[in-house]
């Protein structure tokens, strides 16, 4: 056997070994991930991303990710869009164009559970947990892909509570005419605020807190995790409060360009982040429990049902306009009703059965 025949024989043996799993998967070119953390490289989101990178390296499936920290979420998304990063970790407000199904988990009131005249936060977080479980399952993989992009993780950020600079802003009616920060990246916020009769003030994650703290807006929506680092107690002052009526449960989402990753990278990553739900939730609940008792403001139980119905009507209208995904809302409705089958909403097919839109008549016909 000459040297060329030996080389061919050796190459065939190597190929055969790799096909039957005799060799570990060859590493792809290293990937880069843009990670938004409002604190930067020393923040909790970036630390969690580092743990994820180590976990994926141990799988030896071709993921060797270099992280880049961003304190400006817009820049992180721009770098991902331009191809400077192969993955990004951002809020669902920014991930929505890349997968509307996953982003709809943040739909207003879609994870809210009320029991005994109060919002049951534990049950509400469990709705979110079960929804993430569904989307992290192999059977939901197709829903997690949109073009060349794939959701590679959904992580809870906490409830978006209304922070007000005056306790008199304790109802939708009382919010009429008030200035409310509306994130420019999420056009729905301005629509909802205007519908309330309030004044939307264009804002961004980098400045909404300072606008509240400096009195430029009367209301913001934020998770408890933001209270200390963004010094939101300054905006609350002595007259303000935090309402226990969350607008939504926010999520942080990982989006990858799936052409840059191994075929099963998205599923493996989603299942990893699912395993991190409980420790992340523990951190969120700790931050909520540590807020001063005096800053909380409860919604009268007589108004609670009306507010929940308003949120339901609003998200159904938004879904009909194409800004929420109806499949995701269907999943969330079924989870809520599995957990609370006696709830009045479970007697209605709304959010499960969607009426077909009738074609408008053509003039002259």
Q: Whole-angstrom Cα distance, residue 156 to residue 282?
A: 10
Q: What is the pLDDT of residue 153?
A: 98
Q: Which two tokens stand for residue 6?
A: 């030996």
Q: Whole-angstrom Cα distance, residue 227 to residue 163?
A: 10
Q: What does each C-alpha distance from 285 to 141, 278, 336, 352 come to in angstroms?
A: 30, 10, 20, 31
Q: CA 98, 251, 273, 290: dihedral to nearest 10 degrees? A: 160
Q: What is the pLDDT of residue 29?
A: 57
Cα-to-chain-centroid distance, residue 153: 10
Q: Which two tokens stand for residue 223?
A: 């998770």
Q: Confirm if 143 and 131 have CB atoms less than 8 A apart.
A: no
Q: What is the pLDDT of residue 266?
A: 96
First and final C-alpha spacing in the chain = 83
Q: What is the pLDDT of residue 357?
A: 62
* Burial state string for 140-158 with b = 16 or more CB within 10 A and e = fewer than 16: bbebbebeebbbbbbbbbb
Return averaged pLDDT per consecutive 10 residues of the chain, 365 residues in all.
Answer: 45 36 47 95 95 92 93 96 97 97 97 91 97 98 97 98 96 93 91 92 94 98 95 97 96 97 95 97 96 93 88 93 95 96 91 70 39
Q: Which residues pair with 89 in a beta bridge?
A: 35, 254
Q: What does each C-alpha distance from 327 to 40, 101, 128, 313, 359 come to in angstroms?
A: 35, 7, 15, 17, 22
Q: Confirm if 240 and 292 have CB atoms less than 8 A apart.
A: no
**Residue 173, helix vs strand vs coil:** helix
Q: Domains in the chain, please, with CATH? A: 27-157+251-289 (3.40.190.10), 161-248+301-344 (3.40.190.10)
DSSP code per residue over 88-132: EEEEHHHHGGG-HHHHGGG-TTTT--EETTEE-HHHHHHHHHHHH
Q: Could you give the strand order of the β-sheet that contains 179-183, starting from the edge strand earlier in sequence?
A: 199-203, 179-183, 219-222, 161-164, 241-243, 296-297
């Amino acid at each position: 056997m000459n040297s060329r025949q030996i080389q061919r024989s050796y190459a065939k043996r190597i190929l055969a070994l790799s096909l039957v799993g005799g060799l570990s998967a060859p590493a792809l070119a290293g990937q880069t991930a843009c990670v938004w953390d409002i604190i930067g490289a020393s923040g909790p989101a970036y630390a969690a991303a580092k743990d994820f990178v180590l976990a994926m390296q141990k799988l030896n499936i071709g993921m060797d990710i270099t992280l880049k920290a961003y304190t400006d979420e817009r820049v992180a998304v721009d770098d991902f869009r331009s191809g400077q990063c192969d993955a990004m970790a951002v809020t669902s407000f920014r991930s929505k164009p890349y997968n509307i199904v996953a982003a709809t988990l943040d739909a207003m009131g879609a994870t809210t559970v009320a029991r005994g005249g109060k919002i049951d936060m534990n049950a509400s977080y469990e709705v979110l947990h079960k929804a993430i479980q569904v989307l992290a399952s192999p059977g939901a993989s197709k829903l997690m892909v949109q073009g060349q992009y794939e959701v590679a993780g959904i992580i809870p950020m906490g409830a978006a509570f209304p922070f007000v600079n005056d306790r008199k802003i304790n109802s939708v009616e009382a919010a009429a005419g008030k200035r409310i920060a509306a994130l420019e990246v999420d056009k729905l916020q301005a629509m909802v605020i205007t519908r309330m009769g309030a004044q939307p003030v264009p804002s961004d994650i980098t400045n909404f807190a300072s606008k509240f703290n400096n009195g430029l807006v009367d209301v913001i929506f934020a998770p408890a995790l933001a209270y200390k680092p963004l010094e939101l107690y300054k905006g609350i002052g002595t007259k303000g409060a935090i309402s226990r009526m969350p607008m939504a449960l926010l999520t942080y989402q990982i989006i990858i360009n799936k052409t840059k990753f191994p075929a099963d990278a998205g599923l493996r990553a989603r299942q990893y982040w699912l395993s991190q739900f409980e420790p992340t939730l523990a951190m969120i609940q700790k931050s909520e429990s540590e807020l001063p008792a005096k800053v909380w403001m409860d919604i009268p139980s007589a108004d609670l049902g009306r507010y929940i119905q308003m949120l339901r009507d609003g998200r159904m209208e938004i879904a009909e306009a194409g800004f929420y995904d109806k499949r995701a809302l269907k999943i969330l409705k079924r989870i809520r009703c599995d957990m609370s089958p006696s709830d009045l909403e479970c007697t209605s097919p709304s959010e499960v059965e969607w009426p077909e839109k009738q074609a408008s008549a053509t003039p002259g016909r």
